Structure 1
Amino acid sequence: MKKTTLIFGLSALIISCNQAVKQQEGTEDSTEIPVEVNEVKTEKENSSTEFNIEDLAFSTADIGDFPFINLPEGLEADQGAIQRKFDVCFFPIQGIMTPFEGKLYKANISAVRGEEYSQRYFEKSMEDYMLSVGAVKVFDGEITKEEYDRYNKQDPNKGGSGDIGYWNQNIKFFIIRSKDKGNIYIQWTSNNAGGKLNIVQEEAFKQTITKVTADEIVKDLSEKGKSILYINFDVDQSTITTDGKEVVTQIAEALQKDKNVVIAIEGHTDNTGNAVHNKKLSNDRANSVLNALIADGIDKTRLSAIGFGSEKPLVDNNSDENKAKNRRVELVKK
């Protein structure tokens, strides 16, 4: 009986020790997994700060002039391609759509008439050429829908020609660093129907707006017989804004310098909207300027006002930039 009791006691002790060892081993295993996961997570977090364009080597290739790409034989840019001296375009840096500014080219690419479009032909032509001129591939993949939702309203060219940056597009993005041409960003996407191409030659913004002065107005009236001015009004109204009143003050000073000059104030709009409405609006704005000048002490017999709407554009109304040029007030010497 004593032997039986001893055997049972030893067995219980052995079983208890084994369980303790297993529990200890299980505890050690359970603590190893989160350590490994945290290490991986930290590496991913750190990778978001790793990209630095200064790390990319300069290309020594002769890449020509902007937009730097002659399309592959048999392919062409569709009508409506965007080419601007300064604009913004978004490119994927580690999956984050990042804005770069400078000279911009955006186009839809298709086969010339009589040919069939080949996705593989376009993509291989582009990639082989990029590598041949020392470009570096920065991204090849898709962005997330969350990333698209985050950035898309910041892109002023969304929906236009060559629009790239949707979550279901495979985007290939290369950078060329050139000591002569600066940083050049090139991305494209393609399917079996056609391609899209974006190019930016990075440049800093240069301010070209200068304050209108009375001396400049006098000079224009004397040498050219007219002075073209951009006076700000409330949107779709004839009320002159605070900035606009500063321009009117300079007009008044110019007319005080030469008290013999007589001018016609002509209002002009772009071709957006109803033509009858635009003509009335331009006439109302010209008369607002006339009345403001009278309030500044200019004899009303030296002034007349008329609105032409969109009848006399300076340039074609084929872009936002040109439409802005057409929304003007002209002082015409009589």
Structure 2
Amino acid sequence: MKKAILLAALSVVVLSCNKTNKTEQTVIESEKQSEEVVDTAVVPQKATNFDIKNIPFSEGDLGVFPFFTLPEGLRTIQPLQKKFDVCFFPINGVMTPFEGRLYKANITPEQGEEFSQRYFEKSLDDYLLAVGAVKIFDGEITKEEYDRYNKEDHNKGDQGDMGYAGQRIKFYVIRSKEQGNIYVQFTAHSAGGSLNILQEEAFKQTIAKISADDIQRDLNDKGKSILYIQFDLDKSDITADGDDAVRQIATVLKRDPNLKIAIEGHTDNTGNAAHNKDLSKNRANAVMQSLIAQGIDKTRLSAKGFGADKPLVANDSEDNKAKNRRVELVKIK
């Protein structure tokens, strides 16, 4: 009898242990599944192919570029704004270039405030969804993808740049009947964030052939004409395109025998200042000698180089530096 009671008691203990083990196993599996769910939130989503035509049109009032303000308490640090440029956005985890009007900025809290990643991300998530944006991607950029594309992005390292290996990006698209396709991406960490907005536009060619009429009009109306005559790199040799521009100058001078001009060469601030001044002087002289060879009296011409001493704009970007590398024709009264 005692033996039977002892066996029964042991059976209860064994059953209880089995039940406990199963319960613990269930908890462990549940926790494992929860961890897996959390992990998938930062894995690049590659389930579908992107086609802008499949994005429904937004019915929201979008405002004007860059379309929305920052959340209260946040500010930008010298945002980059360009009328036309390229920006890379993650399509199925692949950084893909789009062109158009571009806004890029680093985001930081106002003085005395603390940055909240959750506040920044939720503010943008909620607003974008409210105006009809569609989330395209929410995940990390792999090292392999960064290594593949980063050298193609000439804005790498500039204000608001993102798309680095291991960086988590949220990417939305707004399709508007009035304002076209708008691409928005942002990323954040505990101390600040970055925001990119691009309004897709086709490239518009604005370069036009320099004509004698244009030069003459500028000299009459403004007293000077700014030309971008092409020279060989770091030399004073005029290229074939530059020769055509000089022929247009000669045409103007032949039309008006009383016209006298000063030819002024200018550079950006890259490199040695003395070298730049010599280079600009040699280029101005090259233009003058070409005009003399085309029959223009030397007494009607003068040439001088200023190097980087008289910039049109600040030498703070490649676009501005290109504007400063010029030849000016100044009317001598």
Residue aligning to 1:60: 59
1:157 paired residue among 145, 155, 158: 155
Residue aligning to 1:183: 181
Residue aligning to 1:238: 236
Write the distance in 2 (CA, Å) between the matches of 1:216 and 1:71.
44
Q: Offset of 1:93 from its aligned partner?
A: 0.7
Secondary structure at 1:101's aligned position in 2?
Answer: strand
1:108 paired residue among 95, 106, 109: 106
Residue aligning to 1:73: 72
User: What letter is aligned with 2:90?
Assistant: P
State whether structure 2 residue 50 is matched by structure 1 residue 51.
yes
State whether structure 2 residue 268 is matched by structure 1 residue 270.
yes
Write the distance in 2 (CA, Å) between the matches of 1:124 and 1:280.
57
- CA deviations 1:151-177 (Å, max 9, x no partner) are 111111001111111121001000001
Residue aligning to 1:194: 192
2:86 paired residue among 88, 93, 96: 88
Residue aligning to 2:119: 121
Residue aligning to 2:35: none
CA-based RMSD of the aligned residues comes to 1.4
Secondary structure at 1:78's aligned position in 2?
Answer: strand
Larger Rg: 1
Write the distance in 2 (CA, Å) between the matches of 1:304 and 1:258.
17
Residue aligning to 1:319: 317
- CA deviations 1:25-61 (Å, max 9, x no partner) are xxxxxxxxxxxxxxxxxxxxx966x321101111111
Aligned residues: 287
Identity %: 67
User: What letter is aligned with 2:119?
Assistant: Y
Residue aligning to 1:167: 165
TM-score (norm 2): 0.83
Write the distance in 2 (CA, Å) between the matches of 1:160 and 1:142.
20
User: What letter is aligned with 2:330?
Assistant: V
- CA deviations 1:213-240 (Å, max 9, x no partner) are 1122122222222111000111221111
Write the distance in 2 (CA, Å) between the matches of 1:230 and 1:153.
29
Write the distance in 2 (CA, Å) between the matches of 1:221 and 1:195.
49
State whether structure 2 residue 259 is matched by structure 1 residue 258.
no
User: What letter is aligned with 2:105?
Assistant: A
* Higher mean C-alpha displacement, 313-322 vs 296-305: 313-322
- CA deviations 1:79-122 (Å, max 9, x no partner) are 2x100111110001111111111110001111111011111111
Write the distance in 2 (CA, Å) between the matches of 1:216 and 1:273.
32
Residue aligning to 1:146: 144
Q: Offset of 1:193 from its aligned partner?
A: 1.5
Question: Any gaps of 5 or more consecutive residues in structure 1?
Answer: 1-45
Write the distance in 1 (CA, Å) between the matches of 2:193 and 2:234.
39
Secondary structure at 2:86's aligned position in 1?
Answer: strand
Question: Any gaps of 5 or more consecutive residues in structure 2?
Answer: 1-45
Write the distance in 1 (CA, Å) between the matches of 2:216 and 2:328.
13
Write the distance in 2 (CA, Å) between the matches of 1:329 and 1:268.
6
